[in-house]
Amino acid sequence: MADSPKQGPWPRTSHRWGWWRGHWRVARDVFSLVSVRTGTSLLVWLLVGIALALPASLMLLQTNLSQLAADWGGGRPSVSVYMELGALNAAELAAQLERRAEVEAVALTTQEEALAEFTAYTGLGDALTGLERNPLPASLRLTFVADAGADALEAVAASMREAEGVADVVIERTWLTRINAISRLARSLGLVFGVLFGVGAVLVTATTVRFAIDSQLDELKVMKLVGASAGQLRRPFLYFGALYGAGGGLVAAMLVSLGLIVLEAPLLDLLGSFDQTLVLGGFDPVFVAALVGLGSALGMAGAMLAVRQRLAGLEVM
């Protein structure tokens, strides 16, 4: 097979800004076509939006759970030491513990303070006043330095169990472990659903763009005949895909926002019962822009798929 000629039979000519002008014309035509086909456009936006909303919600959930875990006790496990009733060495024990390098802080709650808190939170203080003595023990709440490992935690807990006047030692990490596990699960589910629904979004756009190509085959043939390049033939459909995807991204952002509005109050109630507050984070302009950008990229990928299938070997005559 002979090599391609180094140049064509005619001198090369081009129009200044011709490439940009071509893009502008196509963008204008596609915007107008998408706005005219309102029904189809809304349906595609909704389908792509739903496909993007679920993984986006899971991602948001994961972000907020991570934040919650970090905020909960500084994101570090703690140890609660419950003294025997009437033990008098709680303050001394607290002073000893504060001297340990792995312990960051020790909060002492005396029996009186425990009773006052109980009364304030439950309103059942009157029930306890009839008793001969305060049934609530003094306690120490230990928080650890950031790099304290599980071994250090266990060692401190073990030494406390041996200490005089200590009734019980509880390593409080169950909730954190659960939150972290849920956060990891949300992340994994987000990835799995992200891939699955991302493929779904690509296929939805590909199918829609394929219909658009089929309805414009005659025009494409004539364009090829009058000298349109492969890029020029592809261009309107890539714009279609990008626009459908970007619209889908916006719809996804709206759906996530709606979900947050619905879920915010029950979540706050739930966390309030653990004496925690929640400021929902992650849903910001960057998140919305990322959704729109991702939708747009997926839409273009779908369009590219359709274009490759339909425009390869387009027979003109």
Partner 1 sequence: MGRIEFLNVYKRYPSGFEALRDLSVVFEEGSMTFLTGHSGAGKTTCLKLLLCLDQPTHGEILVNGVNVSRLSARRLPHYRQNLGAVFQDHKLLAARSVFDNVALPLRVSGMREREVRRRVSAALNRVGLLERESLLPMQLSTGEQQRVGIARAVVSRPKVLLADEPTGNLDPELSADIMALFQGFNEVGATVIVASHDRGLIESLDNPVVELSHGMRVR
Which residues sit at the interface with partner 1, rule CB under 8 A? Answer: 2-5, 7-10, 12-15, 17-19, 21-22, 25, 218-219, 221-230, 232, 315-317
Closest CA to 217 of 315, 300, 134, 296: 315
Q: What is the smallest separation between the CB atom of 59 and partner 1, expressed in angstroms?
A: 41
Give the Cα separation of 271 and 259 in Å (integer): 18
Q: What is the smallest separation between the CB atom of 218 and partner 1, expressed in angstroms?
A: 7
Pick between residue 217 and residue 262 the one whose CB is nearest to partner 1: 217
- Is 314 exposed, middle or buried, given 0-12, 13-18 or 19+ CB atoms closer than 10 A? middle
CA torsion, ordered 5, 6, 7, 8, to nearest 10 deg = 20
Which two structure tokens, joined as six digits, stand for 126?
Answer: 């009157």
DSSP category for residue 139: E
CA torsion, ordered 45, 51, 54, 57, to nearest 10 deg = -50
Containing H/E element for 166?
strand 166-172
Closest CA to 204 of 243, 172, 245, 235: 245
Closest CA to 34 of 202, 203, 209, 204: 209
Q: What is the smallest separation between the CB atom of 7 and partner 1, expressed in angstroms?
A: 7
Pick between residue 11 and residue 123 the one whose CB is nearest to partner 1: 11
Q: What is the smallest separation between the CB atom of 317 and partner 1, expressed in angstroms?
A: 5
Closest CA to 151 of 105, 195, 200, 102: 102
Q: What is the smallest separation between the CB atom of 207 and partner 1, expressed in angstroms?
A: 22
Q: What is the smallest separation between the CB atom of 225 and partner 1, expressed in angstroms?
A: 6
Q: What is the smallest separation between the CB atom of 14 and partner 1, expressed in angstroms?
A: 7
Pick between residue 286 and residue 317 the one whose CB is nearest to partner 1: 317
| Residue 92: CB atoms within 10 Å | 12
| Residue 34: CB atoms within 10 Å | 19
Pick between residue 4 and residue 273 the one whose CB is nearest to partner 1: 4
Pick between residue 120 and residue 317 the one whose CB is nearest to partner 1: 317
Containing H/E element for 172?
strand 166-172
Q: What is the smallest separation between the CB atom of 227 and partner 1, expressed in angstroms?
A: 3
Pick between residue 227 and residue 285 the one whose CB is nearest to partner 1: 227
Give the Cα separation of 239 and 232 in Å (integer): 11
The half-sphere exposure of 137 on its side-chain side, counting CA atoms within 13 A, is 17
Pick between residue 147 and residue 218 the one whose CB is nearest to partner 1: 218
Pick between residue 19 and residue 31 the one whose CB is nearest to partner 1: 19
